[in-house]
DNA sequence: AGGCCGTACTG
DNA sequence: CAGTACG
DNA sequence: GCCT
C-alpha cells in the first residue's frame, strides 16, 4: 500500500506543479469511501489527456473519485489508457508512440470507467464494449486486417440480426484461414442458387452477408451427404443406429471448429484486440452464452414460480434466442439487436457478461417459502396454485406432503418418483425406450410408424421425457388408438416396460383420445421415465410432427403467425378462413388446408421453400427452432439469416432432424397482418398458399 | 395500452 | 369449471 | 418481460 501511494505521489510530482495543485485544490475531488475505490492503485491516461471537454472532465473526475490517479503526462506508471470514443488505435499510437505502448498497458474506451463504477468492480478490460477499434475510420473496411468474425460486429451497431447464423460459418472459416478442410469449398456462385432463401434476402443485404451465406451454403454442399436426406423427412423409421453415431459426429466437428476458432482467437496486442470468446473448455464446446442463459433461466423459473406468466415467456424467448447465438453476447447493443431481447433484458445480459452476476436474481431469493415452492412445483401435476395452497396449509417438505397432504393419484406418483421425473434422460436411453415401443408396435401391426419427437428430434443430447409420435399410413385415429390401447400398451405393461398410466384419456370421451402419458423403465432399471405417446391419424401427421417437435416457444410463435394470417395451426392441421372476433377469439372453425405434410404446412405459412444447390443437390428449408447450433453444425444444416426473416433448414441426418430458425416469427406475424394478400413470402414457391381466402 | 397458442386430460 | 400438461 |  504505502509503495503504491508513493507511486502516486511520484506521478503527481512529475506533473507540472501548477496543475497538480490545481487538481487538488480547484477540483477538490470528493473521494468515495475507501472500499468503493475500485480504481485505487491505477493510473489513467486519457486521450485526449485533458479536461477541457466537459464530458471528459466529468469522466476524469469520476474516475478520480473512485481512486484512479490521473497521469497528466505519459509516464511509465500509466496502467490504463482511456480513449475517447471517436478515436482509433491509430490515433492512440500517434499520440503516445508505438514504442511507448507496452503490452501491459490496458487500452480501453471511455465507457470503461463508468461501467466499472456502475458495477462496483474492475471489469475485464477485454470486453468488446471497451475496445478501441483499429483503423482510421469506422466501417467494414477495417475488416481486411482482422479475422472476419471480429470486425463486422465491432464497429456497427446493427450488425446483429443478420449475422446470427452467418457467424456459424464465419467461426468455422475465418478469412485468414488456410487449414480449412479441403472439402469445404468457398464457392461464391453458390449463393445464387439459394436466392430464394428467405423472402427478404434482397431487401437489406448487408455487405457481408453474401459471403457469409456463400460460406454457409458452401459448407452445406461440402458436408453434404445431403442428397440422401432429401427424400422423405420424418418418417424415418430406424433410429437404432444413431445415438452414439450422431454424438460422435458432433464431437468431431466441434473439435474441428474449435481448432479453427483458436486461430482467429489470437490476440493482436498491437491493436488492442482480443477475442472475447475464450472458448477454452477443450472438452466440449458449449454455447458461449451458457452462463448468461443459466442466469436468465433462473430468472425465468423465478417468475414462473411467482406466477408471472408473461415475464416467464419473455425470458424463455430470450433464452431460446441466445442459444442460437454463436458469438458471445456481451453488450447491450449486441443483445438488443436480437429479436426477443429488449432493453431490459439486454441490460441484464450485459450485466451478466461483465460481472458474472445478476443483482436482480440475488434479490429474489429472499422469500423463505421460495425454495419450498420450487420443491413442490417440481412434482408432476403440481403447479403454482397447488404448491401455494400446500404451503399455506403448512406443508414444508415432500415428507409432509406424502403423509399429510391431499394428493391426487397422479400427484402421488409424481411425488414417489420426484427425482426420476426431474432427471434428464440421455439421448441414447430415449432411443432405447423408443425401440422397445417400436418393436411392440410392429408386433401388433407391421405398418405402424413411430417417430421420436420432442427435444430429441431437435437434436438434444438429453431430454426431459420421451415423446413418441405414432401413426400408420392411411389409418384413422380410432384404428391407431385401438391397436395401441388394446394391444401394444397392455403388452408393454406385461413386459414390465410401462409402469403406470398418468393421462390416458380413459374416463372421458373414450372417443377422441389421442394421447397416452405414463411412465416407463428400461429392463433392469429402477428409474421411471416420463413417456408421452401421441396417436396420430395419417392425415394429421405433418401437423403432429410440428407440434410434437416444438419447442413450445416455436409452436406458439408459428401458431401466432398463422392466426395473423387468418389461419389456425394446431396438432391436427393448418386451417384457413378463420374468422376471429374481439380478442382474437375464434369464431369459425375454418377449413382444413393441410395436415399430412409437415413441409406443406410450412410452405403455406410462407416458412419453407426448396432450394437447389449447385451440383444438383437440393435442400429443404423449414422453419423450426430450438435447435442447438452444435446440432446444426454437426448436422450440416444451414440457414441463411436475413434481417427480420429467417431461413432455416432441416435435414434429416441419421434419424435426427435438425432445424434452425432464424426467422423472427413475431415480426413476420406483424407483417403478415399488414399485407395478408401480398405474397412477398413465397418467392421461392409457386404455390404461396398465402391467400387465406381463396 | 394491451396481446402474448391451441389443445387434451383430470377431478 | 380450474388446474395441469404437451410441444 | 417483448412487441406493436
Tell me which of A635 and A27 has the higher pLDDT.
Answer: A27
Tell me which of A41 and A212 has the higher pLDDT.
Answer: A41
CB A552 under 7 Å to nucleic chain B? yes
Tell me which of A37 and A551 has the higher pLDDT.
Answer: A37
What is the spatial distance between Cα A510 and Cα A491, in angstroms, rounded to a whole number? 20
**pLDDT confidence bin for A127, thresholds 50/70/90:** low
> Could you tell me the distance in Å between the CA of residue A643 and the C1' of nucleotide B10?
45
pLDDT (mean) for A170-192: 24
**Nearest residue, CA→C1' of B3:** A583
Identify each DSSP E strand in A376-443 by its residue range. Answer: 425-426
Q: Point out the least confidently predicted range of A68-72, A125-129, A271-275, A424-428.
A: A271-275
* pLDDT given at position A648: 30
pLDDT (mean) for A12-29: 44
Whether A649 has a pLDDT exceeding 80, the answer reads no
List CB contacts of A497: < 8 A, sequence separation 6 or more.
Answer: A436, A437, A440, A520, A521, A522, A523
> From the alpha carbon of A589, which nucleotide's C1' atom is closest?
B6
The rounded mean pLDDT for chain A is 68
- Tell me, what DSSP letter sits at residue A132? P
pLDDT (mean) for A220-244: 26
**Nearest residue, CA→C1' of D1:** A311
> From the alpha carbon of A386, which nucleotide's C1' atom is closest?
C3
Whether A223 has a pLDDT exceeding 90, the answer reads no
Cell numbers that stand for A637 in this block:
444444416
Q: Give the global pTM.
A: 0.59
pLDDT (mean) for A405-426: 97
Chain B nucleotides with an atom closer than 7 Å to a protein C-beta: 3-11
> From the alpha carbon of A575, which nucleotide's C1' atom is closest?
B6
Q: Point out the least confidently predicted range of A90-94, A125-129, A272-276, A630-634.
A: A272-276
Whether A233 has a pLDDT exceeding 60, the answer reads no
Question: Which of these, A456, A417, A420, A418, lies nearest to A435 by C-alpha position?
Answer: A456
Helix (H) or strand (E) holding A659: strand A656-659
Question: Which of these, A96, A91, A84, lies nearest to A52 by C-alpha position?
Answer: A84
CB A569 under 7 Å to nucleic chain B? yes
A24-to-A3, A14, A20, A31, A175 alpha-carbon distances in Å: 21, 15, 6, 11, 52
**pLDDT confidence bin for A103, thresholds 50/70/90:** confident
pLDDT (mean) for A107-116: 90
Q: Which residues touch strand D (CB under 7 A)?
A: A 310-311, 313-315, 317-318, 339-346, 360, 666-667, 670
> From the alpha carbon of A674, which nucleotide's C1' atom is closest?
D4
What confidence tens digit (pLDDT) does each residue in A245-293 have?
222 222 222 222 222 222 112 111 211 111 111 122 222 346 789 899 9
CB contact at 8 A, A559 and A666: no
Q: Point out the least confidently predicted range of A120-124, A261-265, A296-300.
A: A261-265
Question: Which of these, A86, A102, A79, lies nearest to A11 by C-alpha position?
Answer: A79
> Could you tell me the distance in Å between the CA of residue A105 and the C1' of nucleotide C5?
57
* pLDDT given at position A134: 73
Whether A570 has a pLDDT exceeding 80, the answer reads yes
> Could you tell me the distance in Å between the CA of residue A233 and the C1' of nucleotide B1?
44
CB contact at 8 A, A619 and A230: yes
> Could you tell me the distance in Å between the CA of residue A537 and the C1' of nucleotide D3?
37
* Residue pointed to by grid coordinates 443483482: A359
pLDDT (mean) for A622-629: 37
Helix (H) or strand (E) holding A80: strand A80-83
* pLDDT given at position A136: 62
> Could you tell me the distance in Å between the CA of residue A517 and the C1' of nucleotide C6?
10
* pLDDT given at position A672: 52
Is A166 strand, coil or helix?
helix
What is the spatial distance between Cα A397 and Cα A616, in angstroms, rounded to a whole number? 63
pLDDT (mean) for A561-588: 89
Q: Which residues touch strand C (CB under 7 A)?
A: A 379-387, 414, 453-455, 464-465, 467, 517, 530, 532, 547-552, 555-556, 559
Tell me which of A137 and A23 has the higher pLDDT.
Answer: A137
Phi/psi at A570 (nearest 5 deg)? -140, -170
What confidence tens digit (pLDDT) does each residue in A535-566 have?
999 999 999 999 998 888 888 888 888 888 89
Cell numbers that stand for A155 in this block:
464497429
> Could you tell me the distance in Å between the CA of residue A202 and the C1' of nucleotide D2?
27
> From the alpha carbon of A463, which nucleotide's C1' atom is closest?
C7
Domains, chain A, in order of start with CATH, read 43-130 (3.40.50.10190), 288-366 (1.10.150.110), 370-419 (1.10.150.20), 423-536 (3.30.460.10), 543-611 (3.30.210.10)
- Other CB atoms within 10 A of residue A57 CB: 14
> Could you tell me the distance in Å between the CA of residue A504 and the C1' of nucleotide C4?
14
CB A408 under 7 Å to nucleic chain B? yes
Is A417 strand, coil or helix?
coil
The catalytic residues of A are: 348
pLDDT (mean) for A617-624: 43
Amino acid at each position: 500500500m504505502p509503495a503504491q501511494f508513493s507511486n502516486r505521489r511520484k506521478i503527481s510530482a512529475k506533473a507540472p506543479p501548477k496543475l497538480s495543485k490545481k487538481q487538488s485544490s480547484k477540483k477538490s475531488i470528493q473521494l468515495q469511501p475507501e472500499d468503493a475505490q475500485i480504481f485505487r492503485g491505477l493510473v489513467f491516461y486519457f486521450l485526449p489527456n485533458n479536461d477541457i471537454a466537459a464530458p471528459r472532465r466529468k469522466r476524469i473526475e469520476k474516475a478520480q473519485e473512485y481512486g484512479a490517479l490521473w497521469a497528466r503526462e505519459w509516464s511509465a506508471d500509466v496502467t490504463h489508457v482511456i480513449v475517447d470514443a471517436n478515436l482509433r488505435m491509430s490515433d492512440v499510437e500517434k499520440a503516445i508512440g508505438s514504442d511507448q505502448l507496452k503490452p501491459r498497458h490496458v487500452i480501453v474506451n471511455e465507457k470503461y470507467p463508468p461501467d466499472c463504477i456502475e458495477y462496483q468492480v474492475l471489469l475485464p478490460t477485454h470486453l468488446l464494449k471497451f475496445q478501441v477499434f483499429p483503423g482510421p475510420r469506422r466501417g467494414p473496411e477495417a475488416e481486411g486486417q482482422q479475422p472476419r468474425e471480429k470486425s463486422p460486429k465491432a464497429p456497427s451497431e446493427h450488425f446483429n440480426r443478420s449475422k446470427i447464423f452467418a457467424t456459424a460459418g464465419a467461426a468455422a472459416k475465418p478469412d485468414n484461414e488456410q487449414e480449412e478442410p479441403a472439402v469445404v469449398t468457398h464457392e461464391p456462385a453458390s449463393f445464387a442458387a439459394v436466392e430464394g432463401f428467405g423472402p427478404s434476402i434482397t431487401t437489406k443485404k448487408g455487405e457481408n452477408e453474401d459471403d457469409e451465406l456463400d460460406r454457409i451454403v458452401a459448407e452445406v454442399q461440402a458436408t453434404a451427404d445431403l442428397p440422401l436426406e432429401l427424400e422423405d423427412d420424418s418418417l424415418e423409421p430406424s433410429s437404432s443406429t444413431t445415438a452414439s453415431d450422431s454424438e460422435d459426429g458432433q464431437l468431431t466437428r466441434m473439435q474441428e471448429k474449435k481448432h479453427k476458432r483458436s486461430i482467429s482467437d489470437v490476440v493482436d496486442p498491437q491493436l488492442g484486440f482480443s477475442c472475447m470468446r475464450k472458448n477454452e473448455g477443450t472438452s466440449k464446446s458449449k454455447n458461449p452464452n451458457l452462463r448468461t442463459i443459466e442466469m436468465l433461466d433462473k430468472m425465468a423459473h423465478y417468475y414462473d414460480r411467482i406466477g408471472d406468466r408473461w415475464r416467464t415467456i419473455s425470458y424463455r424467448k430470450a433464452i431460446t434466442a441466445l442459444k442460437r447465438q454463436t458469438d458471445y453476447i456481451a453488450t447491450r447493443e449486441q443483445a438488443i439487436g436480437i429479436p426477443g431481447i429488449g432493453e431490459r433484458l439486454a441490460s441484464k445480459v450485459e450485466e451478466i457478461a461483465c460481472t458474472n452476476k445478476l443483482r436482480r436474481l440475488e434479490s429474489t431469493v429472499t422469500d423463505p417459502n421460495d425454495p419450498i415452492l420450487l420443491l413442490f412445483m417440481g412434482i408432476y401435476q403440481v403447479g403454482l396454485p397447488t404448491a401455494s395452497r400446500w404451503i399455506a396449509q403448512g406443508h414444508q417438505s415432500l415428507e409432509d406432503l406424502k403423509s399429510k397432504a391431499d394428493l391426487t393419484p397422479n400427484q402421488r406418483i409424481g411425488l414417489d418418483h420426484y427425482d426420476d421425473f426431474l432427471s434428464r434422460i440421455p439421448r441414447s436411453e430415449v432411443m432405447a425406450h423408443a425401440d422397445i415401443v417400436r418393436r411392440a408396435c410392429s408386433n401388433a401391426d407391421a405398418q405402424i410408424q413411430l417417430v421420436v419427437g420432442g427435444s430429441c428430434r431437435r437434436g438434444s443430447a438429453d431430454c426431459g421425457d420421451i415423446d413418441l409420435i405414432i401413426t400408420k399410413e392411411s389409418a384413422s385415429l380410432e384404428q391407431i388408438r385401438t391397436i395401441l390401447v388394446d394391444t401394444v400398451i397392455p403388452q408393454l405393461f406385461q413386459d414390465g416396460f410401462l409402469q403406470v398410466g398418468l393421462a390416458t384419456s380413459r374416463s372421458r370421451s373414450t372417443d377422441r383420445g389421442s394421447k397416452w402419458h405414463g411412465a416407463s423403465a428400461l429392463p433392469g432399471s429402477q428409474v421411471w421415465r416420463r413417456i408421452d405417446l401421441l396417436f396420430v391419424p395419417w392425415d394429421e401427421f405433418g401437423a403432429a410432427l410440428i407440434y410434437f417437435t416444438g419447442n413450445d416457444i416455436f409452436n406458439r410463435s408459428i401458431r401466432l403467425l398463422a392466426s395473423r394470417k387468418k389461419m389456425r395451426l394446431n396438432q391436427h392441421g393448418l386451417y384457413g378462413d378463420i374468422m376471429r372476433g374481439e380478442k382474437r377469439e375464434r369464431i369459425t372453425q375454418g377449413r382444413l388446408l393441410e395436415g399430412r405434410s409437415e413441409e406443406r404446412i410450412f410452405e403455406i405459412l410462407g416458412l419453407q421453400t426448396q432450394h437447389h444447390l449447385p451440383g444438383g443437390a437440393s435442400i429443404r428449408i423449414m422453419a423450426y427452432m430450438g435447435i442447438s447450433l452444435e446440432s446444426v453444425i454437426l448436422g450440416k444444416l444451414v440457414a441463411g439469416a436475413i434481417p427480420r426473416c429467417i431461413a432455416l433448414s432441416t435435414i434429416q441426418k441419421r434419424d435426427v432432424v435438425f432445424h434452425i430458425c432464424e426467422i423472427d416469427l413475431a415480426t413476420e406475424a406483424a407483417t403478415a397482418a399488414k399485407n395478408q394478400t401480398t405474397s412477398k413470402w413465397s418467392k421461392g414457391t409457386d404455390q404461396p398458399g398465402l391467400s387465406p381466402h381463396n
